[in-house]
Each structure stands twice: as structure tokens, then as C-alpha cells.
Amino acid sequence: MTFFQFLGTCEIAFLYMFVGLGVFLTFRVLCFPDLTVDGTFTLGAALSAYVTLMHDAPFSSLAIAFIGGMVMGALTAFLHFRFKIVPLMAGIIVMTALYSLNMRVMGGPNVSILGHDSIFSFLERQGFSAFETKLGVLFLFLAGVFMLLYGFLKTMTGLALRAIGNNQEAARYQGVPVERLTLLGVGLSNGLVALGGALFLQTQGFADVNMGLGTVIMGLAALTIGEILMPQSVLFLGLFSAVAGTLLYRCFVAAALNIKFLGLSPSDLNLITAFLVILSFAYKHKVSRARGVSC
């Protein structure tokens, strides 16, 4: 792997770390297996493209993407509570709807802002190189979001969210408004993923309607790698492992692009990903038996 490829890998990893954090929030903190993210990742990119192209406002496009993702995530949770649809199914429904919706927002299956002003343009005009600007800004964004999320999960509301994930019934008996907080939690998760999608558009300059394909499974694989690497004893490490796992997962992808002579090809990547996710569930199974918790 060349140095540049490694930096490129970091760039993609930074983008998908938002997905990692989002998936961590639903699958680990809330125990709400949410598949909406496959749609909201693209939604974030689509909304960001729309606002950037139509209103020349790349920065506000990030906020709008975040809100859009949040609404769709909350919708999934709403479907679950209102109509008793299992979370997986509710996620698939919203994801399916989002495919068409994204196409509406983008005005077609593919949209490009290449050559337009992005969130990086004003720094590039100051003479910074395009590549370093992207890496730096993305890192700052990520660090900010990471700390905000960590801070939020430490508040009373955040604590209640984590309680829901640990034992929903017990949380309910303690007076935690389970429905409302799950709506918030799943919304927040999808908002983060949409923000990742929006930043993807800003860095890569294009969005495609099929770009969200497999987002959730990639996020899960990243979580697994992180969990195998480090203990989940405290919240900070849990969040950090989601982020570190994403970087390692992207390194795996980069390695898979380079190791053709071992008989592996990039088309085997999905197999490896699936294997990692199975490993994740096996690991969880083992841990939960040891600790006596169910999720």
C-alpha cells in the first residue's frame, strides 16, 4: 500500500466513521437493529447536493442533511411503535421508500457537484492543498461530532437511552419515556449517517442512488473489528472502537484491492464482510452468556 493510498483510505474511513457511530448507537446502545441507514446515507448526499447546487450553501447543506436523516430515522422508530412493525422490517420499509425519494431529491440517479464550490473550497482558495484540506476538515468534523455524541450519552437523557438498550422493561418501570427516546436515538443515528453521506458528497463530488448499498453491513463489520480489538467496558472505548474499527475495515478493503495473487479478489470482500459480521454476533453471544445480558 502506498502512502497516498493509505491517506485515501483514511479519508474514506473518516466519512464512514459517521456511519460507524450511527450504527453503534442503534445496534449497540439502543439494541434497535436499524436498516434505514442504507437509505439515509444516500439521502444525506442527495440533500447536500440539492442545497449546494440550488442555493450555493454547502455548509447549511450539512445541517439539512442531518435533519433529513433524523426525520427518516425517527419515522422508522415511529413505524415500529405505532404499528408494531419489527425494527428490521420498519427499516426496510423506510429504506425502500428512500430509494425513490432520493431519486426525487437528486433529480435523477446520479448527481455531481464536481467543479462547484464545496465546504472545502474556501480553504483551498487560501492556498491549502485539496487533499490536506479534506483530511483536516473531515478530522475536525469527526472529532467534534464524536465529542458531542459522547457528551450527549453522558447526560441524563443519554443515560436513559443506554438504559433502554440494556433493559427496555426496567427502563420503562423507572419512568423512562421509551418511545420518545427511541425515536430520538434512532433519529440521531440516522442523522449522523446522513451527515456522513453529505460529507461523502462534499469530498468526492458526486452522489449515486446506489451508493448506500450495504452501508449497514459495512458499519456492523467495522463495529466487530473494533470490538475484537478492544474491551467495551466503558462508553468512551465503545465509541472509540466503532471509529477505530471503521479505519481497520477500510484498510482491509484497501488490502483486498492489492492482494489479487493470493487468490482473493475484491469480489470476495462481501464474503469477508459477512464473515466478520457473523463473528460479531458469535462474540456478542459469548459475552452476553458470560454477563447474563440479552443484547
The verdict on 108 binding another protein (CB under 8 A) reads: yes
The verdict on 148 binding another protein (CB under 8 A) reads: no
The verdict on 177 binding another protein (CB under 8 A) reads: no
The verdict on 99 binding another protein (CB under 8 A) reads: yes
- If the CB atoms of residues 75 and 218 are measured against another protein, the closer one turns out to be 218
The verdict on 213 binding another protein (CB under 8 A) reads: yes
**Residues whose CB is less than 8 angstroms from the CB of residue 203 and which lie 6 or more positions away in sequence, other chains included:** 11, 15, 118, 120, 134, 138
The verdict on 210 binding another protein (CB under 8 A) reads: yes
Alpha-carbon span 222 to 23, nearest angstrom: 10
- If the CB atoms of residues 146 and 200 are measured against another protein, the closer one turns out to be 200
- Taking CB under 8 A as the criterion, the residue among 29, 47, 79, 113 binding another protein is 113
- If the CB atoms of residues 81 and 206 are measured against another protein, the closer one turns out to be 206
Q: Packing angle between helix 235-256 and helix 3-23, nearest 10 degrees? A: 140
- Taking CB under 8 A as the criterion, the residue among 63, 92, 93, 228 binding another protein is 228
The verdict on 16 binding another protein (CB under 8 A) reads: yes
The verdict on 51 binding another protein (CB under 8 A) reads: no
- Taking CB under 8 A as the criterion, the residue among 33, 139, 157, 214 binding another protein is 214
The verdict on 66 binding another protein (CB under 8 A) reads: no
Give min distance, CB of 86 to another protein, in A: 23
The verdict on 145 binding another protein (CB under 8 A) reads: no
- Taking CB under 8 A as the criterion, the residue among 40, 48, 189, 204 binding another protein is 204
Contact 109, 209 (CB under 8 A): yes
Residue 142 C-alpha cell reads as: 469527526
What SS3 state is found at 120?
Answer: coil
- Taking CB under 8 A as the criterion, the residue among 61, 168, 203, 241 binding another protein is 203
Residue 196 C-alpha cell reads as: 456522513
The verdict on 232 binding another protein (CB under 8 A) reads: no
- Taking CB under 8 A as the criterion, the residue among 251, 272, 284, 295 binding another protein is 251
Q: What are phi and psi of 293, to 5 degrees?
A: -105, 160
**Residues whose CB is less than 8 angstroms from the CB of residue 193 and which lie 6 or more positions away in sequence, other chains included:** 18, 19, 22, 23, 37, 40, 41, 44, 69, 215
Strand locations in 58-137 (E): 110-112
The verdict on 33 binding another protein (CB under 8 A) reads: no
DSSP 8-state code for residue 233: S
Q: Is residue 150 packed enough to be buried (19+ CB in 10 Å), middle (13-18) or exposed (0-12)?
A: middle
Contact 253, 197 (CB under 8 A): no
Alpha-carbon span 131 to 287, nearest angstrom: 41
The verdict on 125 binding another protein (CB under 8 A) reads: no
Binding site for another protein (CB under 8 A): 1-9, 11-12, 16, 99-100, 103, 108-110, 112-116, 129-131, 200, 203-206, 208-211, 213-214, 218, 225, 228-230, 248, 250-255, 257-259, 261, 266-267, 269-270
